[in-house]
Chains A and B, each alone.
Chain A
Amino acid sequence: MTRVDERVASPAPPRRANQLVALVRNGWRQLTSMRTALVLLFLLAVAAIPGSVFPQRNVSIEDVQGYYEAHPTLAPVLDRLGAFDVFASPWFAAIYLLLFTSLVGCILPRLRDHVRALRTPPPDAPRRFERLPQRAVIEDYRGDLEAIAALLRRRRWRVAVRPGTVSAEKGYLKETGNILFHFSLVGILAGVAIGSWYGWHGNRLVIAGSEHGFCNTLQQYDEYGLGPRVHSTDLPRFCLELVDFEARFLDSGQPESYRATVRVDVDGGPPRQVDFTVNSPLRLDGANVYLIGHGYAPVIRYTDRYGRAQTSVAAFPKSDEMLTSEGVFTFPDVNINPETGERDPNAQMGFQGLYLPTVSDDPTVSRSVHPAERSPGLLLVAYRGDLGMETGIPSSVYELDQRQIDSGKLVQVGLSKLLRKGDVWTLGDGTTVEFLGTRPFVVLSVRHDPGETIVLVSAGVLLVGLMMSLAGRRRRVWCRITPTRSSTTDRSSLVEVGGLPRTDYSGFADEFADLVAALRASQPTTGHAPRERAGMHEGTDCWGRSPPSS
C-alpha cells in the first residue's frame, strides 16, 4: 500500500515507476517460481518438527503444564516462540500462506494456459522430422489424411488436419490432474478454515445414571472450544444420559471392547436408547458424540454423628492401564445438628480414595492387577475439618485442598483402610462410611466440524488428480503425407510419422511403434502389400529406454 501511495503522492519520473512495477513483478515471479515453492515446502516440513517434539496445547494441555514444571526457565521462552502452539503460530501460518499464495499464483496461469491448450488444435508439424525422438516412414500408403485422422481419433487423440499434415496430441489429463491436485489443496485449506471458524466441541465426563445426564449447552461441559463464528445459542439441543457402559478385557489386562449405551433426548422427539463405541461414534443432527475415555466411579455412604446418611458418587480418573484410579469424596454438609441447624465448621468430611478394580493377593502391592472388577477394593484415607470450599479459590475436584491439610485445618482421621464392597468402616467419632459399589463413567467428546465434508471431497479430488498427473503422459505425433509418383497406383503416397513425448515416458517408443503398425494395417486392401518395410529409428540416446543389458 505505502508503495502505491508514494507513487501517487510524488510524481516520480516514469522510469522509477517502471522500476517499482518491475520490482513487484520480479518479486511475484520469485514467489511463484518452483524453487521458492520447493524452499517453502521444505520449510513447512522443518517447521512441523517442533510440533511433534514439544507438547502441544491443542493436543494435551496437561503435557504443556508438565513441561512448564520440568523446565521453568525454558518453557516461557519457548512459549513466546510459539513452540506449544506450532500449528497456530504466526510463523507456521506465514509459511503455509506464502506457499499457498505461490501455489495459486502458479496454478492460475497454468489453468489459463491449459484451457487455452484445450481450445486450440494441436500445433503444426515441424518442418523436419529428423530431430524428433521417434519417427517412421510408411511408403506406398494408400489412404489419405482423413483416414489417418480417423484412426488417431479412434485412439482418442486430439487431431488437427492441415493441408498435407495431421497433428495429434494426447494426455491432456495429466495437466488437468495436476491442476485438480493443486486446487484441491486449496480446497483442503478452505475446509480446515471453515471447520475452525464454524466448528465447536465440548468434552464432558458422564457417570451412569439418570441424575448425571447433561444437555448440550456450554455451561454443562467440563471443557469446550467454540469457533469464532459460532454463538453458544447455535448449538443443537439434545440431552444425553449414560445408561450403561461395558468394557471387556483380556487376562493380560489389554482392553478388548467397549460399548456405551446412552439415552438420547433430541429436542422434542421421544427419548431413544442407542449403543455406540470407539470407531463408531453416535452421530446426531449437527453433532457427533465420541467415546474418548472411561473409568469407575465408586459410591460411598457416610453416616454422620447425628445418624444422617449421605451418598456420594465420584468419578475416579485412572492412573494406570490396570485402571488403578484416584479421586476424592467430599461431604461439606455433614455433622449439622438437625435440631439447631448449627454447622460445625471443623466437622466437614473428605476422603482421599484409591480404587483398585482387582486387588492383588500381595498386600504390599497398592496397584490394581487387572482392569476388570474381579476383586474390587477401595482404599480410603479420611480427613475431618474445614474442606476450604468457602474460600472461593478454585480447586481440583480430584484431590483435597492441600493447603487446608498443610495448615492443619483438615486432619487425617485414623489410618488408611481398604474397604471391600459392602464393608462399613467406623471412624473414631462413631461416624461410619460404607463402600456401596461402583458405577461406570465415560468421557465424551461432542463435536461439530462443518468443514469435514469439504476436506473429504477435496482429499478425494486430490488423490484422483494426483494419480492422473503421475500416470498421465503428454505426447504428440505428426504425420506428413506426400504423394509419390513412382508408385503403381495414383493414390499411393509416402507418410512420414514423427512422435514427441512431452514428459518422461519410457513406453513411448512402444506406443509409437504400435501406432505406426496400426497405420500400416489400416490401409484399404485394394492393392498389394507395401513393397518394403519402413525403417524405424529409435532415438535411444535422448528419450528411449537404456539398451537392455543381460
Chain B
Amino acid sequence: MTAAILAYLGAMVGHAAEYAFGSRAPAARVAARPRRALATVGAGAQGAGTPPEPEPAPAAADSRRPLPVGRIAVAVTVLAAVAHFAAVVTRGIAARRMTWGNMYEFVLTLTLVGVIAWLIVLARRPSIRRLGLFVTLAMVLLLGVAGMVLYTPVGPLMPALKSVWFIIHVSSAAIASGIFLLGFVTGVIYLLRAGYDRGKRRFPYPLVRWAPEAEALERLTFRLHAFAFPIWTFAIASGAVWAEAAWGRYWGWDPKETWSFISWVVYAGYLHARATPSVKRRTATWIAIIGFVTMMVNLIGVNLFFEGLHSYSGL
C-alpha cells in the first residue's frame, strides 16, 4: 500500500512538474518554481521519511524543449493503480473475502475505483491530463488518511455481513463513491477554472490556468455524476433489500441510511439544477460539491461519531 501511495506521489510530482514546466513562457516557469518545491515538501511529509522520488522535473527545466513529463506522470499513475490493485487483492486473499469489511478497506476500494475511472476517462479524452495533479492529490490525501487513521488489521467478517448483498451493496456503493470522487475533483477544477476565466487571480485560481476549458470540464463533471447517480441509487436500494433481510426493515433512518438519503437528495438536486436552464452551471456544480461533502460525512463522520447499525464499518 505504501508503494501505491508513493507512486501516486510520484505521479503527483510529475503532474506538478508538467504544470510548472509545461509552458514555454519564462514568466510561468519562474512563477512555478515555488509550487514544485511545495509538492516535494508534501511528498516528504506523506512518505514519512522515505527518500523523495526521483523527479523528472529538473531535466525538463533544463532543456529548452518540454519533455513528456505529463506522460511520465500518467505512466506512474498507472503503476500506482497497479500497486493499489495488488494491495487490495492481496488483502482480499489474506482475508479470503471481498475487501469491503471495514472503513479502511472501503476507502482503499473507492479510491481504486476513482483512479480506474480517471484512467478510463483520460484514455478517452487525453486533453484533460493536467487534471491528474488534482486527482493524484485527492488519492494521496484519502489514502494517507486511510493508512494513518483508519488502518485495521485483516480479519474475517461479522455474521451480519455474510450475505450476497454484502458484495452487491458495498461494491455498488464503492463504485458510486469512486466516481463521485472523480466528479468532485473535476467539479472543483471547473469552479476554479470558471473563476479564473472571470478574471480572478488570487491564490487557488492561477493553479488551474492550464486546466481544460471550463465548459468541457463542466460537461465531464455532469456526465460523471449522471453515471454515478444510478449506481448510488442502486446501492441504496440493494442496501434496503439487505436491511430487510438482516434487520427486518428496509429503511429505518439509521444514521448511515439518513446520510445516504441526504446525499441522494443533494445529487438529485444537482441533476435537476443542471437540467434547468435558469440555474447557473456554477450554482449547479456547487450542489454537486455539497453532495460529495455529504458523502464524506457519511463515510467518515457517521462511522466515527454517530452510533448506528453500520458501526461495524468503523474502527
Check B279 for interface membership: any CB of A closer than 8 A.
yes
Query: If the complex has contacts A42-B269, A58-B253, A546-B213, are A292 and B248 also in contact, measured as CB distance less than 8 A?
Result: yes
Main secondary structure of the interface of B (DSSP, over half): helix
Query: If the complex has contacts A38-B276, A254-B158, A277-B159, are A470 and B253 also in contact, measured as CB distance less than 8 A?
Result: no
> Which residues from chain A contact B259 at a C-beta distance below 8 Å?
52
Inter-subunit contact A256/B262 (CB<8 Å): no
> Which residues from chain B contact A467 at a C-beta distance below 8 Å?
230
A: interface residue count bin: 35 or more
Closest-CB distance, A461 to chain B (whole angstroms) = 11
Inter-subunit contact A280/B254 (CB<8 Å): no
Query: If the complex has contacts A45-B262, A48-B262, A49-B262, are A254 and B229 also in contact, measured as CB distance less than 8 A?
Result: no
Inter-subunit contact A254/B156 (CB<8 Å): yes
Interface string of A34-56 (1 = CB under 8 A from B): 11011001101100110111001
8 A Cβ contacts from A87-135 to B: 87
8 A Cβ contacts from A54-101 to B: 56, 58-59, 63, 86-87
Inter-subunit contact A52/B160 (CB<8 Å): no
Closest-CB distance, B299 to chain A (whole angstroms) = 13
Across the interface, name the chain B residue whose C-beta is closest to A46: B262
Query: If the complex has contacts A288-B248, A546-B215, are A466 and B159 also in contact, measured as CB distance less than 8 A?
Result: no
Inter-subunit contact A45/B258 (CB<8 Å): no
Check A538 for interface membership: any CB of B closer than 8 A.
no
Closest-CB distance, B290 to chain A (whole angstroms) = 9
- Identify which of B163, B250, B255, B265 contacts A52 (C-beta below 8 A): B255
Across the interface, name the chain A residue whose C-beta is closest to B273: A38
Check B241 for interface membership: any CB of A closer than 8 A.
yes
Q: How far is the CA of A41 from the CA of B242 in the complex (A)?
A: 26
Query: If the complex has contacts A278-B160, A470-B230, are A290 and B247 also in contact, measured as CB distance less than 8 A?
Result: yes
Q: How far is the CA of A201 from the CA of B246 in the complex (A)?
A: 15
Q: How far is the CA of A56 from the CA of B287 in the complex (A)?
A: 28
Stretch at the interface among B91-99, B143-151, B232-240: B232-240
Q: How far is the CA of A408 from the CA of B126 in the complex (A)?
A: 83
Inter-subunit contact A466/B229 (CB<8 Å): yes
Q: How far is the CA of A512 from the CA of B65 in the complex (A)?
A: 41
Inter-subunit contact B262/A63 (CB<8 Å): no
Interface string of B261-275 (1 = CB under 8 A from A): 110011011011100
Check A463 for interface membership: any CB of B closer than 8 A.
yes
Inter-subunit contact B258/A504 (CB<8 Å): no
Check B179 for interface membership: any CB of A closer than 8 A.
no
> Which residues from chain A contact B219 at a C-beta distance below 8 Å?
504, 506
> Which residues from chain A contact B42 at a C-beta distance below 8 Å?
none
> Which residues from chain B contact A463 at a C-beta distance below 8 Å?
230, 233-234, 237
Inter-subunit contact B216/A546 (CB<8 Å): yes
Q: How far is the CA of A466 from the CA of B155 in the complex (A)?
A: 38
Listed A/B pairs (16) with beta-carbon separation below 8 Å: A34-B279, A35-B276, A37-B272, A38-B273, A42-B266, A45-B266, A51-B258, A58-B253, A59-B252, A201-B248, A250-B156, A279-B160, A447-B248, A463-B233, A463-B237, A466-B229
The 4 closest A-B pairs by CB, nearest first: A290-B248, A52-B255, A52-B258, A279-B163
Chain B interface residues (CB < 8 Å from chain A): 126-127, 155-156, 158-160, 162-163, 165, 212-213, 215-216, 219, 222, 226-227, 229-230, 233-234, 237, 240-242, 244-255, 258-259, 261-262, 265-266, 268-269, 271-273, 276, 278-279, 287, 294, 302, 306-308
